[in-house]
Amino acid sequence: METQIVLIAVAIALQYSVFADDDNDDSPCFKRFKRLRTPLLAKIEAAREESTSFRQKYSEAYRDGRRQDALGHAASAYEADLEIHRLSREVELLARSALKATRDETSLYISRLPLTHAREAFERQMIALGFGLQRTVEEIAYDEQIILDSPAGARYAVLYVDKVLGGQPWGACESMVAQDSEWSHQYASVTGRRFELGEPSISTKPVLWDRYCRRFGISTNHGGAGGAASGATRTGGPA
């Protein structure tokens, strides 16, 4: 568990450092960069504190069984995490313009996806899996619930099914995943079976719906995407 915490802390430091500790360059352009960066770093720190606060409130609501409160705190923490990511991107763009840094140089400091509560929950399980760390049933259940309650939960639920559960369906996530066309399609792909609950959503995207129908041998009588619920029939393929 100690190793796990250290690794996560390092990842967070790398993602949001955005040159914050680099005091070795006294050139005029770098001094200007640091001056322009200062208010952005202050906003990032404020958003971090906000995220931490809402995550703590989420934990308390989860422990007390206050489901609606937990969902509200999860949404608020997610918004704060998005703000951290947005502001960090602003620092990255500032570095490119003020320091003439390249995308390859600056993108090392900011990951493509925000470091949300759901992402951290998923990565904790991946780290435990990779390093053979033992986690309690309670710890696993808590992180699974974080994923289920997150506005970004569909993505990490599908990744969890794929990377942690080995493609085994996870019934608890299906009603949430079914609301998203892309992740419904991915869920069917990683489980290797038709995902009927998500078909109405998948069918709103013609390209995804065509791939899905071809993979699972589905013929439809509605002439295209958008009518999965009204007439998809099976013609063959894997169950």
What CA dihedral angle connects 212, 213, 216 and 220, to 10 degrees? 150
Query: CA 140 to CA 53: how far, in whole Å?
Result: 22
Is 237 among the domain residues? yes
80 shares a domain with 161: no
What pLDDT is stored for residue 47 in this prediction? 98
Q: Which structural domain range is residue 217 located in? A: 156-239
Is 20 among the domain residues? yes
How distant, in Å, are the alpha carbons of 65, 76, 92, 137, 150 from that of 60?
9, 14, 35, 18, 16
What pLDDT is stored for residue 9 in this prediction? 34
The two structure tokens encoding residue 32: 């200007």
User: Within its chain, how far is the Cα of 165 from the centroid?
Assistant: 17
Show the DSSP H helices in the chain as ranges.
Answer: 2-16, 28-64, 67-98, 103-106, 117-131, 137-149, 153-163, 174-177, 181-191, 199-202, 206-216, 228-231
Is 57 among the domain residues? yes
Task: Of 149, 111, 141, 107, give the one whose Cα is nearest residue 124.
Answer: 141
Q: Which residue has the tokens 């999860």?
A: 74
Is 91 among the domain residues? yes
CB 151 within 8 A of CB 75: yes
pLDDT in tens, 183-225: 999 999 999 999 999 999 999 999 999 999 999 999 875 444 4
Query: CA 213 to CA 58: how far, in whole Å?
Result: 40
231 shares a domain with 166: yes
What pLDDT is stored for residue 95 in this prediction? 83
How big is the CA angle at 145 (ends 144 and 147), to the nearest 5 degrees? 70
Total domains in the fold of the chain: 2
DSSP 233: E
164 shares a domain with 232: yes
Query: CA 209 to CA 224: how far, in whole Å?
Result: 8
239 shares a domain with 174: yes
Written as one letter, the residue type at 2 is: E
Is 196 among the domain residues? yes
Task: Of 175, 123, 152, 165, give the one whose Cα is nearest residue 8.
Answer: 123
What pLDDT is stored for residue 108 in this prediction? 59
Is 39 among the domain residues? yes
Query: CA 139 to CA 125: how far, in whole Å?
Result: 9
pTM of the model: 0.80
pLDDT in tens, 5-26: 333 333 333 344 444 445 555 6
235 shares a domain with 160: yes
Residue ranges in the chain whose pLDDT is less than 50: 1-21, 222-227, 229-231, 235-239
Is 218 among the domain residues? yes
164 shares a domain with 94: no
Is 151 among the domain residues? no
